[in-house]
Structure formats: C-alpha cells, structure tokens
Amino acid sequence: MTRLAPIWKKRGLIFDPSEHALPLGCEQFAQSPQALIGEGYIRIYFSTRSRDTKTEKYLSHVCYVDFSNDFQDILRIAQHQVIPLGELGCFDEHGIFPINVVPVGDQVYGYTCGWSRRSAVSVETGIGLAVSHDGGRTFQRRGSGPVLSASLNEPCLVGDGFVRHYQDRYYMWYIYGLPWKHFEGTSQAERIYKIAYATSHDGLTWKKASRSPLISDAIGEDECQALPTVIEYQGRYHMYFCFRYATDFRTNPDRGYRIGYAYSDDLQTWTRDDSLVGISKSGNSNDWDSEMMCYPHVFSHSNQLYLLYNGNQFGRHGFGLAVAE
C-alpha cells in the first residue's frame, strides 16, 4: 500500500536567534516560522520578543530571515520593523504571533494573530490582515481591527490563521478558544482551543464554517490544538498542527507540544491519524527538540516538501527544518 503522507528527515536547527542581531531590541525566540518564496531566496518570517520598557513584560514582533534556496546560507536578517504593533486598546497592542503570508498578485497578504493582555485572564487574540507592496519587506494594516475574531459561538481566543487558495476560494484554518477553565492545583485559568475553518472569496471577508470540532481529540477533551498548516500532496490534503495537554505543559515534556496529523479529500472532513505524522521528538535529551515540537509549517519549493518547526521552550532556541523523503 502506498503511503500518502510523507516521512520527514530532520536537517536540524537552522536558525538560533541568540547567534544573530535582531531588530527592536529583540532577543531569543524565533517562533512560528512561515515561508515566502522569493527570487533566489526563501524568506522565513518568525515572531521574536522584546521587553516593554514600562512593564518589563514581553512584546512579540515580526521579523524574518532570508535563506539561500538550499538553506545552506543565511543571506540577510531584517533589521527594520516589518509591521508595527497595534495602537492603544487594539487587538494586537502587545504582540503579533504568528503571521502567515500569502502571495496575492503583486502583493503579499499577511494574516496576523494579534494579542493583547487582559486582567481576569492572561490574553485575548484575533486575526488581522496586513498587506505588503514591497515583496514582503514591510506590511501595512488594512485596518485597526481584526478580520476574524470572537463571535457568538466562539467567544474566546480566535487566532493562528493559516490561509491558502483552493478551488476558487480562500480557506483559513484557525483556532478558537473554549471557555477558560480552572484546573485543580493551578493558580490561574488555562486556555483550551480547537481547530476550525472559514472561507472567503476575497481574503478579507470571512464566513466561519460549522463550529463542530474539525480535528478529533487524541488525549482527551481538554486537548489544546494549535497552528494548523495545510498542503496538497499526491492528490490529498494534509494538515499538520501541534497539540498539548491543558496543564503542566510548560514543565512536563510528556504533556508539552508535539506534532499531529490529519488528512482530507475535500478540505471539510478531516481524518486524524497521528501515526502518519512522520516525525517525532529527538531521543537525545541534549537536543533542541527533545522535549517539545511545536508550531509546524509545511511548504513546497522546487518540487520538494519542507517542514519548519520549533522545539523546546516554545521556540526560545529557534527553528529547525525537515525534508520529505
């Protein structure tokens, strides 16, 4: 029987932010790598962090690094502000994490996950749209608000939008939060989120599909699913995402993020089968991805499939690359 899901060969950590100068006083963290193919280079966007000078809390900023087409060389790292954070009170006031980029004609659409701090719970998120007219070097918002956000049946945490154009329409896979939940032994409410999708004819106005969970749970109803990425390969649609337990995920490697997999023939009904994911955490405790694998991004270039992902500590140490065999 022919295996329709690829098996991945790791090429290791390819970008460590601690080894490079980043803009805006950012250091460490290169989270949620997302690819844009350019002329003679592959641009990888990521979210990095600075400290708010007033509060000393983290702010998330978009940056990028350009690689040669074979990923052997780093050509340049952005030293400018790719997109400014949102204004006071806006949904993206405190950070953008992640950004998903989509070429549309001679423009590049950037679907941002903006976040802002709250008092009763830690954060609120929404999905915004920014447009680049200079090949993805800088982006300008279409407006100060989100294009997809909390609604009647999805009241919490809409984010992680991943957009592709299939069958004469735009599809967005995203996450939505269930009601925040207090668990025994935890000092604050924890978030739980699932994957859903929406469609659009112009990439700006979106219609959410049924709220029924798109991807089944593998570790119980409190499973958290994040950052879906979808690609068409050998006549089938393949989704990779990351998932974790709702509690103890920061300190217990057995409860932290790992990569999951599902497939579909119609972009609407998905069958989950993590046995086909084709990649797993390193068995060497000293490796950068021995405790966690998260924030996957799959893309095609020169008839080759690539998988970008983060490892331990949610991408503090950068991102790695795997190639489909």
Global pTM reads 0.96
CB 160 within 8 A of CB 149: no
pLDDT tens digit string along 90-113? 999 999 999 999 999 999 999 999
State the number of CA atoms in the 13 A half-sphere of 250 facing the CB. 4
Closest CA to 308 of 46, 37, 7: 46
Q: At 2, is the pLDDT very low, low, confident or very high (cuts 50, 70, 90)? A: low
Q: Record the tokens describing residue 7, joined without a space.
A: 């098996």
Whether residue 209 has pLDDT greater than 90? yes
CB 251 within 8 A of CB 243: no
CB 48 within 8 A of CB 60: yes
pLDDT over 70, % of the chain: 99
Q: At 211, is the pLDDT very low, low, confident or very high (cuts 50, 70, 90)? A: low
Whether residue 307 has pLDDT greater than 90? yes
The confidence score (pLDDT) of residue 214 equals 95
Whether residue 238 has pLDDT greater than 60? yes
State phi, psi for 315 to the nearest 5 degrees: 95, 15
Which string of DSSP letters, residue by residue, matches 139-163? -EES-SS-SB---SS--EEEEEEEE
Q: At 18, is the pLDDT very low, low, confident or very high (cuts 50, 70, 90)? A: very high
pLDDT tens digit string along 175-202? 999 999 999 888 889 999 999 999 999 9
pLDDT tens digit string along 139-160? 999 999 999 999 998 999 999 9
Mean pLDDT of the chain: 95
Token pair 């998330």 is found at: 60
CB 257 within 8 A of CB 292: yes
Token pair 């690829």 is found at: 6
Closest CA to 315 of 67, 97, 37: 97
